[in-house]
Structure formats: C-alpha cells, structure tokens
C-alpha cells in the first residue's frame, strides 16, 4: 500500500467530483489492463469529494454516479478513467521505471538480426540516447513499437520467437515442469519411458540464451536443448 504522502490524487468528474488517493505506478498498471488489488492501488480505500480536505463522498452520491455503492468497483472506474497529476519527483520515478520496463521488454523479445544474439541492456540504453527517444506514460506495449522503429537506424533490432526442443532428466522433470510453462509457450510435451520430460517450447528470441542458462543451472548441466 502506498503512503498517503506519496499518493497522487486521481479525479473523475461524473455528476460531481470524485477523488481517490492512489499509487501512481498502480494507476499506470491498471490502465495497461493489469490486475492490481485495490488495497495496493489506494493509500486509503475511500472515495472523496475532496481528498485534500478528507471530505468523503456519501454512498448515495456514489450510487447515483456509478450505479453501485461498491467502493472498490467505483474506485477502479476512477483509476481507469480519472485525471491525475504527479509531482516532479513522482514523474521522475515513474519515467525511470517506465524506461527500465521498455528496455527489459526490448531485450527480452529481440535479437540482433546479423548475429541472432540478444542485445544487452547497455546497448539498448545507448540506442535510446543516440536516437533521442522520448518516453512517456503510455502503456509499454504501445510505446515499444514506436521506440524500436526509432532506434533501428542506430541499432539493428529484430523481434521474433525461437522454438527449443528440451529434454529434462527424470530427476528434475517434476520440479521443472511448472517453471517451463513460465518460460514460454509449451507447444508439445511428452513424458518418456525413462521418466524424462521432452517438450517443445516457444520463447522470445531475446530470452533464448537466458532460458537455456536457467535450465542448465536447474539440472546441473544435464538438460539437453537444441534449437528447432
């Protein structure tokens, strides 16, 4: 839960003024379609007419404006649609986190088309500066496409996926099965007679090396991986 002093006021005009005190990061995540528990999104689970004056909205006013007395449902609508303003420090922190998420997204999902190897965070950071990329508070998915186009003249970038054929020894198969699902998209799975697990998994090209390394670490190098 965000502290009151770190919260931003999110205001929605809907047959009157309604405000909540929210974590700026949570507001952006919710607007990207992510699920954030209300107690993590709000400093105080209340709806106000004037948050600075701690003047709470009545249930009757909430019912009339939102069609429900459910505080959480009304608060989510305010978080999704309301206007909010950040302090200079809040803006700086938000933009730094957004920048990091964009760099991580590009690094995880892309490769250098010349070498088929992923770019390092440092090279992507350099490309952003070289191309004078401006990052804003729109969802990461919306910005990434624009940013990749902007940096391609200085850093060749190719997005795509790689399919890996993986055989996990029987001793590690049960514990690794769930982790494999989190590493990519399972296209095919087969439990072999000796208890080993054979799968085909589709992973973002940029994370291929990382996935192989994690599988190697988890099986003490006994995993068999080949690119299909």
Query: What are the extents of the domains in the chain?
Result: 4-84, 88-158, 160-227
Whether residue 87 is predicted with pLDDT greater than 80 in this model: the reply is no
Distance of CA 90 to the CA centre of its chain: 19
pLDDT at 49: 95
Whether residue 178 is predicted with pLDDT greater than 80 in this model: the reply is yes
What is the second-level CATH architecture of the domain 88-158? Orthogonal Bundle (1.10)
SS3 34: coil
Q: Does domain 4-84 have CATH number 3.30.1250.10?
A: yes
Round to whole Å and give the CA distance between 51 and 74. 15
Round to whole Å and give the CA distance between 219 and 169. 8
Whether residue 86 is predicted with pLDDT greater than 80 in this model: the reply is no
Residues in CB range of 58: below 8 A, 6 or more apart: none
pLDDT at 94: 81
CATH topology of domain 160-227: Alpha-Beta Plaits (3.30.70)
For residue 176, what pLDDT band results from cuts at 50, 70 and 90? very high
For residue 64, what pLDDT band results from cuts at 50, 70 and 90? very high
- Whether 210 and 186 have beta carbons less than 8 Å apart is answered as no
């Amino acid at each position: 839960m965000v502290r009151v002093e770190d919260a931003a006021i999110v205001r929605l005009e809907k047959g009157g003024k309604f405000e909540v005190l929210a974590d700026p990061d949570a507001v952006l995540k919710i607007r990207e379609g992510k699920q954030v528990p209300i107690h993590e999104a709000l400093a105080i689970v209340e709806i106000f007419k004037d948050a600075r004056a701690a003047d709470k909205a009545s249930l009757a006013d909430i019912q009339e404006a939102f069609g429900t007395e459910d505080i959480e449902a009304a608060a989510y609508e305010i978080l999704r649609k309301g206007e909010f303003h950040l302090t200079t420090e809040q803006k700086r922190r938000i933009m730094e986190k957004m920048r990091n998420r964009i760099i991580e997204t590009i690094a995880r999902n892309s490769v250098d088309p010349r070498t088929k190897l992923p770019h390092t965070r440092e090279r992507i950071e350099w490309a952003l500066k070289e191309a004078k990329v401006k990052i804003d508070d729109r969802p990461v998915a919306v910005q990434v496409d624009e940013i990749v186009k902007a940096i391609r003249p200085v850093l060749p970038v190719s997005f795509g996926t790689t399919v890996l054929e993986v055989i996990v020894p029987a001793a590690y198969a049960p514990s690794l099965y769930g982790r494999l699902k989190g590493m990519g998209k399972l296209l095919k799975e087969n439990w072999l007679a000796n208890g080993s697990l054979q799968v085909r998994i589709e992973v973002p090209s940029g994370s291929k090396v990382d996935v192989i390394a994690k599988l190697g670490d988890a099986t003490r190098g006994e995993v068999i991986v080949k690119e299909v």
